[in-house]
Structure 1
Amino acid sequence: LRTEKTELKHCDNVLRKIALSRFDITLIAKHNDRNFLEVNSCDFLSDGSDRVGQISGKQFADQSIYLENAATDIQVKGWISLPTFSRSQADLQYFYVNGRAIRDKVIAHAIKLAYKDVLYHGRFPAFVLFLEIDPSQVDVNAHPTKHEVRFRQSRYVHDFIRHTVGKAIAETMPKQEQQGAEQYREIVDDYIRAAQTNSALPSNSYMPKSGSSPSHVRETGHGYGAQVVNEYDLLLKTPPEEAHTAEEAPPLGYAIEQLHGIYILAQNANGLVIVDMHAAHERIVYEQLKASYQQGDLATQPLLVPLTINVSPQDAALAEQYSEVFLKFGFRVERFGEDSIVVREIPSLLQQADVNTLVLDVLADLSMFGTSEKLEQANNELLSTMACYGSVRAHRKLTIAEMNALLREMEATERSAQCNHGRPTWVQLSIDQLDKLFKRGQ
């Protein structure tokens, strides 16, 4: 045996799994005459979330969504974390098959794919899921400890779980009561604590240098150049009506101003909404590209003046080799001599993008993936790159109507709470948080 503390932790983990497997039982665990785990029986549907919170933590319960789906001989239900709640390791993942707690690579892979373009790199989702399936379709003797199973139709189970989880995430739209990720609320709480104690602001607070101005703020990350979107026709369809009161505002509210050419400040019924306009528009364009690609109808636009790009002989050969792949993504690219290519047609969604740099990046991806099969598997990564180029850039001055149009598009777009790289696109500061900052009512 190991140390008492380590063994107690193992016992606690086992008991928590048991507690989640049977909501109809009361479980009390004692150590040295002290209860270290105590949960009461409850109804799964009406009080299940409370029990999950007792076992997995209140943060998970508050930032999770309930899902349920059924098909022939298979059903899944339970709770999955919003992308705003994630872990540095896979330590808050509970999966049950016919009431038995199991670990399964097929299930883990399916859930990973469902979160792949909404979760920040290196982070893991949390979930408590229950799968009911025909016992004849499961081999429970696949592992001596019975912790693993083997599905007779693993592909069917994999796709069912991936579709169910992915659909639940996609259909989760911004809510007025949503506060954003805990890690971002902690930043605000630091300021609140500092204000309440009259101490200095946190050391990482931003204080402009003398003579600084918004023009000194630049967007970090991709460094795709100073190309900006000069048109906003994709978003500006019909100017929204102004709300008479904050309570009448939609989930993301109505824009009131733009900050440093990067953020949109909006007011909703809950308080202040701050939107990263590039990240938000990137997600919108990405979802549009994915939908068009999957339907095989990416709208394209011929260039009035074909674009000639000087490349290495190797890249020229690569462009020629993968010309059909380029066509699938809406580009008509042809080899032009030994060391150059010519672009004659591009996707309509990317008409304001830096096509030169984008094509070079796609060639780099092609070179990395090496084969068309691997490229097909990575099409979302390529579409993500395209969306980044096609989205509005930092320092693009937007009108109030354009900002409101962007907010409405976010509300109508799946997975709009995160950009393609898993970063949040917006956060909320509630009136209560703002009141605490200014010590109102104290």
Structure 2
Amino acid sequence: MPAVQQRQIIKPLPSQLANQIAAGEVIERPASVVKELLENALDAGAGRIDIELTNGGMNGIMITDNGIGIRADELPLAIARHATSKIESIDDLLALHSLGFRGEALASMCSVSQWEIVSRNAASELAAKLSHQLPEQVLEVNHAIGTSVTINNLFHNTPARRKFLRAERTEFRHCDEVIKRMALARFDVGFYVNHNSKQTLRLPAASDDSGRARRVAQVCSQNFINQSLTIDYPHNNMRLRGWVSQAEFSRQSTDMQYFYINGRIIRDRVINHAIRMAYQNILPPGRHAVYILHFEIDPASVDVNVHPTKHEVRFAESRLIHDFISRSLRDALGVVGVKGVAETSATYISQETPLPNNSYSPIPMPAEYETNDSMFGRVLSIVHSRFALTQIKDQQVDKFYLIDLARASALWVASHWLNSYSQQQVKSQPLLVPQRLTLTDQQRINYQLTESLLIDLGIQLSAETTGDYLLRYVPNLCRTYVSDELCINLLNTKLHRDDLQDQIINLLTKTRFDSSKLNLTEILITLSDKNALQTVNEFADCWRELDESSLQEWFKLSS
């Protein structure tokens, strides 16, 4: 008779073994340790993080931050599995505002390494220290406010895992990439990296647009900054902002693509497809875009509790998000449905406009501009990015109008701009990346004479040591105009406070604009008010009715 196999008794796993099993998912290599510790430092409110790596992180990782620190009585809990300060209930999990939340990372990495944690909060004179040598005894030591975590000899007690690690150069490259991803997520935090006692990366905290641009250039190259567009597109509870490469700058690989959701780097097929769709007509096969994009959304609309690495997400409305991202990028790139780029201006600042659920159109769909308050009716088409053709029924008769949007927009913007100026309430929009302006001698003189007036109008520049100027702020009302061209036109005009209306209308008419971002409804209503037009005689002819007599006159036809 065959021997009866004895049934194994079901029993709980020892805590150390359970943590080592969990480490298999959370801690794959030294870069995983770096990622988890950086997330903890950022969640602790750190303004500076120092990273020390030895042998690509395989022999040593030490990360020091100046965050809020951990109380001595809480330090043993910090290395306990499923212990965290980030969430307390399922409601917190469904609306996460922190990078970490699972309470697994520290326990996992401590189970497969020789570790030490030193931390001090502002309420304590001395820091608390806990280590693998005395894991249950908290010692008092000297340390600055903040936390220092040391992880040595990763996988020393699990040699089967350690043999899968690669060469020092490879492991360091993975750690370096994790650090750069975090640095592009949090420009307000300084990152300083040493490898084998040699500084390899120095990224000071950036508090302004020029500092952020320097960090992007340091991580992704100055060529990327020179050949990229900065975007900022809000819509309802969503916002997409960052840098995207133009058609002239692409790569053979996807190694310089960074997408963040509420500050968390993610990989998602929906997002990737939306971005590929935006670039499909302007990049040749085999080439990939470069981008750093930050997507902000209500945390309750996205689930980040999908995988222990927290790189994957699920959206409540994936189709809406896909269309918003794809359309926003197409708008910024100037994609018009055929191969080519229609606009090469360096900065686009989007106004909040409704997004239809149908396919992208660079000109707003006519249904979006139905209005009962305008004499022009709905917009049928926009020709040459300047002229609007509209239609309205009047007593069962179709009437058609042709509107010069350059003049109409100048009238509308100038009216609101000068009204805000007279009340000292001009609102300005900072450019994500300041635009460099090389001025002529006359433009410099004009700037010096009108600097205070330009500031009152919402235009702010700063002088560089090179002699150039950086354009930093433009008025919100001028977001549809090419900002550097608008500034140059202002400097070419000897502005006078007593003659601003005519001067601003004239220079706005000469400045290029993006017709897809115009507030057409408001402009059409303003044009319908004949009393408003009487005060600006030169703009009384910014629209024409296409009636039979005018068409006959244009074509020189006899009745």
Q: Please give the range of the TM-score, normalised by the shorter of the 2 chains.
A: 0.3 to 0.5
TM-score normalized by the length of structure 2: 0.32
Question: Which has the bigger relative contact order, CA under 8 A and spacing at least 6?
Answer: 1
Q: Which has the greater radius of gyration?
A: 2
